[in-house]
Amino acid sequence: MDKQPVFKFHVLSLGESTQRLGESNNFINRPFLQIDDLRKKWGDEYIVINSPLGEIDNEPKTYLGCIDLDKKHRKYLKLFKELDFPIDNPDYYVLHMNVIGEKIDKVQSFFKHNKDSLSCILSCAYNKDESDIYTSKLIVICQNGDGIMIDGDMLIFSDLSNKFEEEI
């Protein structure tokens, strides 16, 4: 694979499933739903995080990283170096979202503010209940001004509040 450009990612929150990869300092993180005692669902795409301390918490942190494709042609975010100093202008924000309502389409429900950005819904785990209501867990890579359509409402990401808010 070609060498991918490196960006600064401010990780606000992660998916609910984190697993250590062997004896390494690498962890894989993806969205996860526990449906009942037997059924579990994960998102296909994922984040690989290098943690030299051997632990991952859900505190906001900034990393150097890149977006690439794995051997199965699934998109993933590789976070390979945590920055231990404040970054005023990260290139992207990464956050986990819980959504209940209509099904979220990773392509059709997301709207880039900058058409040349790598912003996207990286991964989505979802389940439809017997009333046709979807529970979705998402990991989103975004920039200020990106939008996501949820149940007919356009929510816009604000780098001031670090969340998606209703468009005014």
Instruction: Report the chain (168 residues): mean pLDDT per 10 consecutive residues.
Output: 85 91 90 88 93 78 95 94 90 96 94 96 94 94 97 95 88
CB 139 within 8 A of CB 58: no
Closest Cα to residue 129, out of 50, 39, 15, 9?
39
Q: How many beta carbons lie within 10 A of that of residue 135, not counting itself?
A: 16
> How many helices (H) does the chain have, and how many strands (E)?
0, 15
CATH number at residue 25: 2.40.50
Strands 75-83 and 26-30, sheet pairing: unpaired
Question: Is 57 found in the same domain as 21?
Answer: yes
Q: Of 51, 83, 115, which residue constitutes the final position of a domain?
A: 83
Residue 12 lies in a domain: yes
Residue 102 lies in a domain: yes
In DSSP terms, which residues pair with 19 in a beta bridge?
28
Q: Which domain holds residue 76?
A: 7-83
Confidence (pLDDT) at 37: 83
Question: Is 97 found in the same domain as 46?
Answer: no
Confidence (pLDDT) at 168: 67
CA dihedral 25, 96, 111, 120 (to 10 degrees): 20
**For residue 143, which phi and psi values (nearest 5 degrees)?**
-125, 165
Residue 37 lies in a domain: yes
pTM of the entire predicted model: 0.93
Question: H helices within the chain, ranges in order?
Answer: none
Question: Is 53 found in the same domain as 25?
Answer: yes
CATH number at residue 136: 2.60.40
Question: Is 108 found in the same domain as 145?
Answer: yes
Confidence (pLDDT) at 74: 92
How many residues are recorded in the chain?
168
Question: Is 151 found in the same domain as 112?
Answer: yes
Structural domain count, the chain: 2
Confidence (pLDDT) at 33: 93
- Residue 51, SS3? coil
